[in-house]
Chain A
Amino acid sequence: MNNIILKANNLHKWYGSIHALKGVDFSVYEGEILGLLGGNGAGKSTLINILSGVYKKDEGEIILRNKEINFNSPQEARNSGIETVFQDQALVNDLNIAQNIFLSREITNKFGFVKDSIMEKESANLIKSLGLNIPIMQKEVQYCSGGERQGIALSRAIYFKAKIVLLDEPMTALSAEGKNRMYDIIQKMRIEEKISFLIISHDIEKIYSLCDRFLIFNRGEKKVEINKNEITIKEIEKTMLQEGI
């Protein structure tokens, strides 16, 4: 097993009187793909939102590369190497591909002016390296396909050397071809860049082949933590049924 890159101990989160996350512990290893499974209200999205800096945890600790972290904003999480690809990818429709990839981390000269041509060149290289065929980086993202949008969101993670990528329902908006391309991109990023992934999905069949390990959640608790080679899809489904998920 590779090194542990992120460790969460006894994480708790309350929304008013609702206890959304109840003492969750887990570790993420370098270059692994970890699947987070569970029904609605299981706590998966809360966990992702805490790790991405959208929400603050109420109790517990998160250790990233041997250092305890406590994010106050998504920007802090991104600066620490945790990139999130949200369900709707957090892309700004009226900005072009290059502007979206570099949004909030633009390349500027010493006077603070944005270097558009460099950002476009870097974006073109990134998009090409992911196997996507988008010839013009000035294309506004609202006119990109679902697969292209996922690729654009993921390319942020590569360029800014993210160590962990959080994916919230990444396959939802994708065609069959888009899903295959997404699989390829994630595998490529894991192998070449040693990036770790945490993936939320309701679609067990789709992510089973992609993940190395699974965490199964129910009502804010981690119920099962298991390696893929120890469990089949049917057993996962059976476990989830037994847990009432």
Chain B
Amino acid sequence: MKLGTKTYLGALENIIWPIVFIVYGIFCILNADAMLSVRMIKDIAYSAIPLGFIVLAEAIVLLNGNFDLSVGQIAGLSAAVGAIFAANDLVPPAFTPFVPIIVGTLCGCVNGILVGKIGLNAFLATLGTFLVFDGIQLLTRHTVIFEFPEIYLVPGEIWYVSILIFVCALGCLHIFLYKTKYGYHYLAVGSSQKASGMLGLPISKIIFLSFVLSGLLSGISGLFYTGYLGAYGPLIAEDTVFMAFAAAVLGGISLKGGRGKIINVFGGVILLGIISSGLTVLAVSPYVRRVLFGVLVVTAIIIDLMKNRIREKVMKEN
């Protein structure tokens, strides 16, 4: 492979970063005073973290060649159960942050059993659990909770703690996926279940693991949403799955599975933060925001398709 080709393909893999700067630049032109302040930059990063965990949850399943529609609902249910345990002193305060994480992981186990062990189609199975988790969340708690032990809110309430934990999670996933043999097996199953099966990789276990990881990250998101908002509300993490999907794909995670840098998902998360904050600054109506986010999802898919076509063309020429 020629050096020029390698550089070109590298740029293609990291295309999210120029997109981040261009979109930020556009919002700066539209409202420089607000967008260029240090506080705004901090807020963009901080406000994106709870959704960032859902993006990671979706990305990890996409990398394994599947799709999880229930990530937002897992975050919501985890936040609800966590809030009840924390607000009612059902566990010692120091353990309260672990409750939503455990709930999220258990929800991930349910998805993992349905898809990895029973072999259901991931899209349809998680469409079902989307409704189940959503219903259970509302049955569990459909009103707001404000009173929490301080330790429960800390991870999502203090901006630098929030960002630091997210960066650590990103780093751990990066090491797992690209530096360990288990990560190679994970990506191999995402790329080709057939070939991986012929080589004896434990496909159903790996698929199960992908949903468990996804549930765990969604559970963390539920905790961070509560900390960020300072309260639990029944609409927590609602409608986030499509945003998460768009951010993961824009971050370079292939829709076909097995390909993508998890680090670049951070770019997708930041992009969502910029768009969300930028639209707030410009006082764009919620209806228009919905349309724009829909456009973003379609754009993400088009960019993924174009990247694949360009890569194929470049590799064939070399």
Contact indicator B316/A143 (Cβ below 8 Å): yes
**B181, B185, B190, B191: which has the most chain A beta carbons within 10 Å?**
B181
Contact indicator A95/B199 (Cβ below 8 Å): no
Q: How many A-B Cβ pairs are below 8 Å?
A: 82
CA A99 – CA B196 in complex, angstroms? Answer: 12
Which chain B positions have C-beta within 8 A of A84? 198
Contact indicator A92/B191 (Cβ below 8 Å): yes
A90-B1 in contact given A95-B191, A114-B180 (Cβ < 8 Å): no
Q: Return the contact of A104 from the options B1, B175, B201, B259 (Cβ within 8 A).
A: B201
Shortest CB-to-CB span from A104 to chain B, Å, is 5
Q: Does A227 contact B (CB under 8 A)?
A: no
The residue of chain B having its C-beta at the shortest distance from the C-beta of A108 within the complex is: B181
Which chain B positions have C-beta within 8 A of A118? none
The residue of chain A having its C-beta at the shortest distance from the C-beta of B182 within the complex is: A112
Which chain A positions have C-beta within 8 A of B185? 103-104
Shortest CB-to-CB span from B146 to chain A, Å, is 45
Contact indicator B198/A74 (Cβ below 8 Å): yes
Which chain B positions have C-beta within 8 A of A143? 315-316, 318
Instruction: Classify chain B's interface size.
Output: 20 to 34
CA A74 – CA B185 in complex, angstroms? Answer: 15
Shortest CB-to-CB span from B59 to chain A, Å, is 15
Which chain A positions have C-beta within 8 A of B316? 143
Q: B156-185 CB contact bits vs A (8 Å, 1 = yes)?
A: 000000000000000000010001110011
Which chain A positions have C-beta within 8 A of B254? 94
Q: Does B220 contact A (CB under 8 A)?
A: no
A76-B184 in contact given A94-B191, A94-B259 (Cβ < 8 Å): no
Which chain A positions have C-beta within 8 A of B191? 92-95
Q: Does B140 contact A (CB under 8 A)?
A: no
CA A75 – CA B197 in complex, angstroms? Answer: 9
Chain A interface SS verdict (over half): loop
Q: Does A78 contact B (CB under 8 A)?
A: yes
The residue of chain B having its C-beta at the shortest distance from the C-beta of A95 within the complex is: B188
CA A136 – CA B197 in complex, angstroms? Answer: 26
Which chain A positions have C-beta within 8 A of B188? 92, 95, 99, 103
Q: Does A53 contact B (CB under 8 A)?
A: yes
Q: Return the contact of B196 from the options A54, A92, A108 (Cβ within 8 A).
A: A92
The residue of chain B having its C-beta at the shortest distance from the C-beta of A54 within the complex is: B198
List residues of A whose CB falls within 8 A of some B CB: 53-54, 73-78, 84, 86, 88-95, 99, 103-104, 106, 108, 112-114, 135-136, 138-140, 142-143
Closest 10 CB pairs of A and B: A75-B200, A74-B200, A90-B198, A94-B191, A106-B181, A94-B258, A143-B315, A92-B188, A90-B195, A94-B259
List residues of B whose CB falls within 8 A of some A CB: 1, 175, 179-181, 184-185, 187-188, 190-192, 194-201, 254, 258-259, 315-316, 318
A-B contact pairs, 16 of them (CB 8 A): A53-B200, A75-B199, A77-B200, A78-B199, A78-B200, A89-B195, A91-B195, A92-B188, A92-B191, A94-B192, A94-B259, A95-B191, A95-B258, A106-B181, A106-B184, A108-B180
